Amino acid sequence: MTTSNSLSGATRSMMTRTPSRTIGAVALASLSLAACSKDTLNITNPNIPTVAGASADPQALQLLATGLLRQNRNSRGGFITSTARFGREAYIYTPNEGRNTSAYLIGISGQNRLDPSGFAVENWGGPYGNLRDVFNFKNTVAASTLTAEQKRAALGFAKTIEGIELLTVIATRDTLGGVVQINLDASDIAPFVSRDSVYKYILSTLDDGNTDLGAGGAAFPFALHSGFAGFNTPTTFRQFNRAMAARAAAYYATSGGGAAAWQRALTALSASFINPAGTSAAGLAAGVYLPYAAAPDATNPLAQATNTDLYAHMSIETDVPLKADGTRDNRYLAKIGTRPTRSAPQGLGIPSSLGFNVFPAISTPLPVIRNEELILLRAEALLGTGDKAGALTLINSIRVSSGGLAPSTLTAASPDADIITELLVQKRYSLLLEGHRWIDMRRYGRLAQLPRDITTGVNAHFVARVQPLPQGECLQRRGKTGALAGPGC
């Protein structure tokens, strides 16, 4: 080894410079490595569309609009099977799953209270999932390059869906209230508001939507599915919007909205696709539907062909109105059929031998709202505003055209309660398995009239007034106060 003592001063200074220069060069090289490759860390997910990436795609608006409709359809089957069980229209008699009965008709064992961590908590996550997408859709529209007119059309569409989803929430939670606000930051918990506020929000949202649609030009910037045939331009879609507003206003009227709400319902009905003269089968059926098809599309969850666990409550047979010739109501004959007798497992329910023929095939569409309901809604609203004769005219029209029954013996002099009873019978049979019975009975304070199959013992049935919030909603609100705490589970 040589020693550095022998090196000349010049060499030494060069040597001492060299390492620092070298290190400097390397540091520089490293920095350039960073500078030129920063962008290489930006990888786009090739497997799943990102919100940031896909929203800018020309197809995005169409896909998102279809997404709102697809999500809305997703939760509809569950809405009908849960409310039909609460309203004693239907059973789900799954052979090895007693909870499909007990969770709805008995609740927590011995408590006659629905379990927040059990099965009967639907109609919450589904609607809110879609409300999140409505929120995203509105933002996408706002940021899009659509014309002002197209934007109004798209917003009108989104607000209509928003109203529909919130109506599902409040129709099942009623006095618990609900959340109407979607925050950009999903972990930022939104406050609960009262039932009254929810209805007001729904009605104003639907009204805003109607206004937007009115300024929305001749066509939507996306296509609606075949269930909207006849309602697929902003102008015709408004009739659907008004129909939903009429249902919302009628619900509000019996939930504190009073006469003013009934008036709103009447106004909305006038702008809807209501056709009191349309009393043929096709006329009554006219409306908006959810289409179904074989995979990869979804099949009708209530289809007679596939849902063999779906049974009808025997009281539908017992209570059926009879025609003049003593035979049963046409609606009963068309919609109810016999099935091999079945009961809930473990003695949780009583046997039934009736099933529904409402949706015969897996591709039978499911109504969202149709003329027959609008006629009955108008009857309700007329009754609510004191026009008993007008109400009875419409009720009788349905009795005759839909049920094949003789006109009612009630007159304008009959007590309101009797007319309401008659109206509820017509709604029951006209709108069988369409998600109305339980809500209507609650609206008129008649839940106690619904039959309880088992009245004693640990399996005693009860009629739920509202669906509980899912456990997860309460856990996330634990420790919060005021509106953020919500009504609890």
Partner 1 sequence: MGRLFKFLAAAAIVAVLPLRADAQTRDISGKVTQAGSGLPLPDVTVSVVGQQIGTRTNERGEFRLRVPSAEVVLLARQLGFKRQTVRVGPNETAANFVLEKDVLQLEGVTVTGQATTTDRRVAATAVATVSAAELNRVPARSVEGNLAGKVAGARISDNSGAPGGGGQVQIRGATSILGQGDPLYVVDGVIISNAGTSSGASAITRAGGTVGSVQDQVVNRLADLNPNDIENIEVLKSAAASAIYGSRATNGVVVITTKKGSSGQTRWNVTQRAGTQQMMRSLGHRQYATLTDVLPFVGGPVGEAAARANCTPNCTNYDWQDQLYGRTDPSWETLVSASGGANNTRYFASLSDRQESGIMLNTGARRTGGRINIDQTIGSKLTASMGIDVTRNFFQRGLGNNNNAGVSPTYEFGYTPAVIDLLAKGPDGRYVRMPFNGGGVSTANPFEVINAVKSDETVFRQAGNLRLGYTALTTARHSVQLSFLGGFDRYQQEGVQYSPNYLQFEPADGFLGTAGQNNVSSLQTNNGLNAVWTWTPATSLITSITTSVGGSYERQAQSVYRIRGRGLLPTRQTAAGAADIATEDTRTQFRDQSYYVNEQLLLLDEKLALNAGFRADRSSANGDREKFYVFPKYSGSYRFTKPFTDKIDEFKFRGAWGQSGNRPRWADRDILYADGGIIAGQGSLVSAGLLGNTAIKPEVMNELEYGVDASFFGSRVGLEFTKYQRKITDLLLTFPLPPSSGLGNQIINGGQLSVLGTEAVLSLVPLRRGSFEWTSRILFNRNAQYTNNLPVPSFAAPGSFGSAYGRNFFVANTRSSLIWGNAPFGANGVVRDTILFDSNPIHTTTFNNDFAFKRFTFSFLADWRNGGYVSNMTNNLWDEGGNSRDYDAPAPTSILPGSRPCGTETLGECRYSTFNGGDVRPYMQKGTYVKLREVTVNFQAPDTWANKIPGARSLRFNVSGRNLALWTDYWSFDPEFNNFGNTNFNRFIDLAPFPSSRQFFLSVDIGF
| Residues 192-231 interacting with partner 1 (rule: CB under 8 A) | 223, 225-227
| Angular region, 354: left φ>0, alpha ψ -120 to 50, beta rest | beta
Query: CA dist 160 to 45, 237, 289, Å?
Result: 33, 9, 15
Q: How far is the CB of 286 from partner 1 (least distance, A)?
A: 18
Cβ closest to partner 1, residue 228 vs residue 311: 228
Sole window of 372-380, 394-402, 436-444, 469-477 interacting with partner 1 (rule: CB under 8 A): 469-477
Q: Is 51 in the site for partner 1 (CB under 8 A)?
A: yes
The yes or no reply on residue 52 touching partner 1 (CB under 8 A) is yes
Closest contact distance (angstroms) between CB of 63 and partner 1 is 4
Interface with partner 1: number of residues (CB under 8 A): 76
> What span, in angstroms and rounded, lies between the C-alpha atoms of 64 and 83?
28
User: Strand ranges (DSSP E) for 170-286?
Assistant: none
Which residue is associated with the tokens 């999500």?
A: 71
List the one residue out of 105, 137, 130, 134 whose CA is nearest residue 119. Answer: 105
CB of 313 to partner 1, least distance (A): 30
Residues 227-266 that bind partner 1 (CB under 8 A): 227
Among the residue ranges 15-23, 325-333, 370-378, 385-393, the one whose residues contact partner 1 (CB under 8 A): 15-23
Which residue's entry shows tokens 């045939």?
229
Q: Is 282 in the site for partner 1 (CB under 8 A)?
A: no
Give the other-Cβ count within 10 Å of 187's Cβ: 6
The distance of closest approach from Cβ of residue 471 to partner 1 in the complex, given in angstroms and rounded to an integer, is: 9
Site residues for partner 1, 321-380, by CB under 8 A, read none
Nearer to partner 1 by C-beta: 35 or 282? 35
Decide if residue 158 touches partner 1 (CB under 8 A): no
8 A C-beta contact, residue 202 and residue 170:
yes
Instruction: Quote the CA–CA distance of 420 and 425 in Å, as a whole number.
Output: 9
Binding status of residue 27 toward partner 1 by CB under 8 A: yes
Residue 293 in the binding site for partner 1 (CB under 8 A) = yes
Give the residue from 200, 192, 158 showing the smallest Cα distance to 173.
192
Please report whether residue 173 would count as binding partner 1 according to CB under 8 A: no
**Residue 427 contacts partner 1 per CB under 8 A:** no
CA quadruple 97, 100, 102, 108: dihedral, nearest 10: 100
Confirm or reject binding of residue 179 to partner 1 (CB under 8 A): yes
Q: Which of residues 41 and 413 has its CB atom nearest to partner 1 in the complex?
A: 41
Largest CA distance in the chain: 130
Tell me the closest approach of the beta carbon of residue 131 to partner 1, in angstroms: 5
Name the residue nearer to partner 1 (CB basis): 34 or 448.
Answer: 34
Choose between 51 and 259: whose C-beta lies nearer to partner 1.
Answer: 51
Beta-sheet strands, E only, within 326-484 = 336-342, 352-356, 366-370
Nearest approach, Cβ of residue 225 and partner 1 (Å): 4
Burial 436-470 (b: 16+ CB within 10 A, else e): bbbbbbbbeeebeebeebbeeeebebbbbebbbbb
Q: Out of 13, 18, 109, 147, which residue is the one contacting partner 1 (CB under 8 A)? A: 18
Q: Which stretch binds partner 1 (CB under 8 A): 48-56, 193-201, 378-386, 430-438?
A: 48-56
- Residues 53-82 touching partner 1, rule: CB under 8 A, are 54, 60, 62-64, 66-67, 69-71, 73
Indicate which single residue of 80, 158, 189, 464 sits in contact with partner 1 (rule: CB under 8 A): 189
29 binds partner 1 (CB under 8 A): yes
Phi-psi region of 386 (alpha: psi -120 to 50; beta: other; left: phi over 0): left
Distance CA 127, CA 373 (A): 22
> What is the rounded radius of gyration, in angstroms, for the C-alpha atoms of the chain?
30
Shortest distance in whole angstroms from residue 32 CB to partner 1: 6
* Cα distance between residue 454 and residue 165, in whole Å: 34
Which lies closer to partner 1 via its Cβ, residue 226 or residue 327? 226
Element (H, E) at 345: none
Are the C-beta atoms of 231 and 239 separated by less than 8 Å? yes
**How far, in Å, CA of 268 to CA of 320, rounded?**
32
Q: 229 vs 406, which CB is nearer to partner 1?
A: 229
